[in-house]
Structure 1
Amino acid sequence: MAPLENPNLEGYHIARQMWMMYYNPKAGTYIAKQKCSGCYNDDKFVIWAVSVADQAIVDAARIYPEFKPLIQPAIAIYQKYKNKTYKGYTAAENSGNDKDIYYDDDAQVCSSMITAYEVTGDKTYLDQGRELVRFLMGGWNDNPSAVTKGGMHWHVSKTLLNSCTTAEVAKCCLQISKFIPDEARIYVDFAAKCIDWQIKVLQDPEDKLIRDGVGEDSHNVDDAKWSYNTGTTLSAASELYHITKDQKWLKIANELAEAAINPNSFFYDRDFPNEKRYWRDSSYFVQLLIEGLADYLLYVAEDVPQGVAQRIHDEVRRHLIIFYEFMKDPKDGGYIQSFEPHNTYKEVYDQKYHQWFGEGKGWGLKDEDKDGAGHPQKCLMGMGAAARVFFQGARIVPKI
């Protein structure tokens, strides 16, 4: 296998392969040839997987114009999931009245719609995104009897307040604020309210990472610190600084960026010496961490502390190479969802793992990356996330 040279080009190949593998023009949606991770029933995908795939198509179209004709059919898939009363999008296709709606899934849907407008100029996507942003803002916890005040709900009918929903909705608000000037202040203020809550309630004051969530009936915070929660909060804080120039947001963004590349952080595999540690979350989480780091460099720009930009560049470059070398299928070039070099294709592990990581860890496959017989199995979200790892990574490391 040739070494990785151009992350954008690798993203191109993955996005193209994903579309060819899963998009069914007759059905007007993504269809699995056999049940895999992210499927409900036997062949349909939950909207979270669809949103990651669609974001990959829009990312591809930003760089490669030949992907632009795919944006319309990709974004049109969402209408099969829409609740016509709530104006939100449900986990599974339905007749229009299903209430199984997750605000974090819908925030990723929304982000892809607004980015589709940014790439194409087609106001249809802006209108869809605006309607969805308004729905998302309705997920704020304003229950007067709640123990934990504020924060975004995870689901329309649950009382859990999540960092992913809160930061991803803030991101959508900031995205759309650029395109609707008359309403911009409403969206920016709401995003600021989200990130203020996120930092006050869910940031660990010791390591600055973002914890997962808390119930509105409790003060007991879930201490899991997934990479995407720090990444999405970093995206939002960075853009808030860019818009407002408030030093508060700069301080928050700087602390989150440092935490994201600290090898002692929760989401690094710390069973290795510092120089060999890597982000151990699945690719569908890591893609949002990389996007957060890219947004930080873009929006904080010349105010990034000295030396930090180079450290981010080097860390993302190292991870792109590991991901390419270990998670790429040597047979067809596709990717599973794992980001951990030992949880990969057996032949890849046998050929190179010990050269890179010494005695390291024994080979295995995560459940989400194998079929019923235990063989490696790709899925829509894994392919979409892999494309985004390289497209977002290329914003920081355009050439290896």
Structure 2
Amino acid sequence: MPLQNPNLEGYNVVRNMWIKYYNKHESTFIAPKRCSGCYNDKKFVIWAVSVAAQAVVDGSRIYKELVPLVDPAIMIFQKYKNPHLKGFSAAENNGNDKDIYYDDDAQVCSAMLTAYEVTGNIKYLDQGRELTRFLMGGWNDNPNAKTKGGMKWHISNAYLNSCTTAEVAKCCLQIAKFIPDESKIYIDFAAKCIDWQIKVLQDPGDKLIKDGVQDTSDSPNDTKWTYNLGTTLSAAAHLYHYTKDEHWKKIADELAEAGINRNVFFYDRDYDMSKRYWRDPSYFVQLLVEGLADYLLFVGNEAPGDLPKRIEEEIRRHLVMFYEFMRDPDDGLYIQSFEPNLTYRDVYDKKYKPTFGERKGWGIKKDDKDGDKDEPLKCLMGCASAARVFFQGARVVPKIE
């Protein structure tokens, strides 16, 4: 059956994901078999948990029968918390672990704040406020740094990366509307983050966002992932919504245009223009889709020319492709790949070759493999990211004819 209702597909993924991975006896997500995103044989790193929790919250905004899943999903985070530092570690711990990544924690924070927005439960706002304050403490203020400013990646590693900087800005902008007395603090901090991002990490040519730079260096890592652009776009568009400053609109316009330019780095350019696609895994692509949706929400009718129409078309065709090539018809869940040749063998034979020819051979991404076997193995991150691709995409394309 072809994809018709992206929101309903997101709901189905969340429902099936919850049944497959949530263990009520351990009050957390458990892998039936060790897979991508596990730090031991059964438990998931907090990054995967944060995306899963956000998928649950996204779904509960539309489908009220998912609201009872919000509290158990958000409560999982407490197993990872270091109460002394107020941050959340990559793995469950006794409260003293310091393996804390600011970008992971920003996704935890966003899930908490969205949970408050959807449910009105003040405890999520309190948790999100505490975590936002912790995140703001990750700004690189080392006077001896070669590259000054920017958000650190890890509490003990001053790699100043774009995803952390933009995701922390997003959290600040999320919480600003809920605490009016403190809103200026958060908006100003977010502006500082995105100003740094554009000055230090944006490529002035293609307008994409480079991955990051160590504070001891002035030479950025010039890999340009989809989520780096998507998170920066979300923040820039939100800043324009708050300030109506044309500075932010110009940045957002350029980022949105770059995000759907089929000639840029994160498109697979081995194909004719009409068949090019975002080639990053779904856990990155979901944040690009969210960024484009946020751009249309916050900039909307002020977007230039036919840009909104082209964004809509690009999201539509990616949703259809993802559904057709990455979905397991047996359980309705998804692998992490966004590349149509790196999928199930029968899908490659029956769908890829008739659509794309034999330009690329069949294979499975390492993150989607069952150990060393050439067989796909789904994971929590892949399923959660898929749900978010559909929920965020549905904000732009609610129905597909």
SS where residue 75 of structure 2 aligns? Answer: helix
1:1-400 matches, within 5 Å, as 2-372=1-371, 373-400=373-400
CA contact 1:330–1:348 (8 Å) conserved in 2: no
The CA deviation at 1:374 is 2.6
- Distance, in Å, in 2 between the alignment partners of 1:359 and 1:158 is 44
Give CA-to-partner distance per residue, 1:309-353, whole Å, 9 cap, x none.
Answer: 000000000000000000001322210000000000001111111
SS where residue 213 of structure 2 aligns? Answer: strand
Give CA-to-partner distance per residue, 1:175-220, whole Å, 9 cap, x none.
Answer: 0001000000000000000000000000000000000000111101
CA contact 1:167–1:232 (8 Å) conserved in 2: yes
SS where residue 214 of structure 1 aligns? Answer: strand
CA contact 2:194–2:235 (8 Å) conserved in 1: yes
| Length-normalised TM-score, structure 2 | 0.99
- Distance, in Å, in 1 between the alignment partners of 2:79 and 2:329 is 35
**Identity level (%):** 71
Aligned residues: 399
- Distance, in Å, in 2 between the alignment partners of 1:111 and 1:149 is 26
The CA deviation at 1:356 is 1.1
The CA deviation at 1:41 is 1.1
- Distance, in Å, in 1 between the alignment partners of 2:374 and 2:78 is 35
CA contact 1:235–1:292 (8 Å) conserved in 2: yes
Structure 1 letter corresponding to 2:341: H
> Which 4+ stretches in 1 moved above 6 angstroms?
none
- Distance, in Å, in 2 between the alignment partners of 1:176 and 1:334 is 32
SS where residue 82 of structure 2 aligns? Answer: coil
- Distance, in Å, in 1 between the alignment partners of 2:239 and 2:354 is 43
The CA deviation at 1:306 is 1.7
Structure 2 letter corresponding to 1:188: I
- Distance, in Å, in 2 between the alignment partners of 1:324 and 1:380 is 17
| Length-normalised TM-score, structure 1 | 0.99
- Distance, in Å, in 1 between the alignment partners of 2:131 and 2:331 is 37
Q: Root-mean-square deviation (CA), in Å? A: 0.5
The CA deviation at 1:375 is 1.4
The CA deviation at 1:360 is 2.2
Structure 1, unaligned runs of 5 or more: none
Give CA-to-partner distance per residue, 1:351-371, whole Å, 9 cap, x none.
Answer: 111121122211000010011
Moved more, 354-363 or 87-96: 354-363
Give CA-to-partner distance per residue, 1:10-64, whole Å, 9 cap, x none.
Answer: 0000000000000000001000011000001100000000000000000000010
Give CA-to-partner distance per residue, 1:211-270, whole Å, 9 cap, x none.
Answer: 000011110100000000000000000000010000000000000000000001110000
SS where residue 375 of structure 1 aligns? Answer: strand
